[in-house]
Amino acid sequence: AQKITQTQPGMFVQEKEAVTLDCTYDTSDPSYGLFWYKQPSSGEMIFLIYQGSYDQQNATEGRYSLNFQKARKSANLVISASQLGDSAMYFCAMREGQGDYKLSFGAGTTVTVRA
Amino acid sequence: DAGVTQSPTHLIKTRGQHVTLRCSPISGHKSVSWYQQVLGQGPQFIFQYYEKEERGRGNFPDRFSARQFPNYSSELNVNALLLGDSALYLCASSLPERNYGYTFGSGTRLTVV
């Protein structure tokens, strides 16, 4: 079974608007971490935001926020005030257990920001 | 501080050949992980090494092997290359005591012809 599901292959957003990228996950481990990464055409995976399973509040990092709904097993990324430089592939990933174990990635969502 | 560095950035190999990819972690990071990213898909976990010991292995054939050196750098080796091995190979380094300290390199883009 897929551990991470991203159902939006591609999205278009107007500059300065907000966009929400969907991510659902599947795990039976009570301890896990959820990540969002940005991958521009250069290939590097750039860390955006992290949410731990025991965190009480939704994570925020600048223009990025994570809408964590534990009961629904969803961890959607919200990018506010989109910029042209936000055009990239976005991946949701999960680490099960504590420590720095392997990440399971979704298939990704391509975001294109229009001027 | 330098980030995670990978070499080479690109290479082209012929089916049946062998390839070695290299990764230098961030200074102080003792754990290195390797991922394969086929075009249009998310990265898939191949190996994780910590203190020169293999900590985890993904669902990859024995043609794939890796090792970690005393300076924590790492090599990924792939034997008997297949066309399907064409992918971006990403290396990530991390600190075990941190839950989210993964830093990725820019990857090595391997093309098998």
The first and second tokens of residue A52, run together, are: 């731990």
Q: What's the mean pLDDT in B6-15?
A: 97
Answer yes or no: are the C-beta atoms of B6 and B108 closer than 8 Å.
Answer: yes
Per-residue confidence at B28, pLDDT binned at 50, 70, 90? confident
Chain B residue with Cα closest to A102: B45
Task: Tell me which residue in B41, B101, B107 faces A100 most closely, judged by beta carbons.
Answer: B101
Q: What's the mean pLDDT in A66-95?
A: 97
Report pLDDT digits (tens) over A100-110.
678 999 999 99
Tell me, what's the pLDDT at A83?
Answer: 97
Task: Tell me which residue in A45, A98, A107 faces B99 most closely, judged by beta carbons.
Answer: A98
Tell me, what's the pLDDT at B84?
Answer: 97
Q: What's at B54, amino acid-wise?
A: E
Report pLDDT digits (tens) over B46-56.
999 988 899 99
Q: How many angstroms separate the CA atoms of A114 and A89, rounded?
A: 15
Judge residue A49's burial from the number of C-beta atoms within 10 Å of its C-beta, 0-12 exposed, 13-18 middle, 19 or more buried: buried
Report pLDDT digits (tens) over A12-58.
999 999 999 999 999 999 999 999 999 999 888 999 999 999 999 99
Mutation target for B interface from A32, A51, A102, A105: give the one with most B CBs within 10 A.
Answer: A102
What residues have CB less than 8 Å from B35, skipping those under 6 apart? A103, A105, B43, B44, B45, B46, B89, B90, B91, B92
- Closest to A89 in 3D by CA, of B91, B49, B42: B42
Chain B residue with Cα closest to A110: B40
- Tell whether A50 is within 8 A of chain B (Cβ): yes
| Cβ contact, residue pair A44, B104, below 8 Å | yes
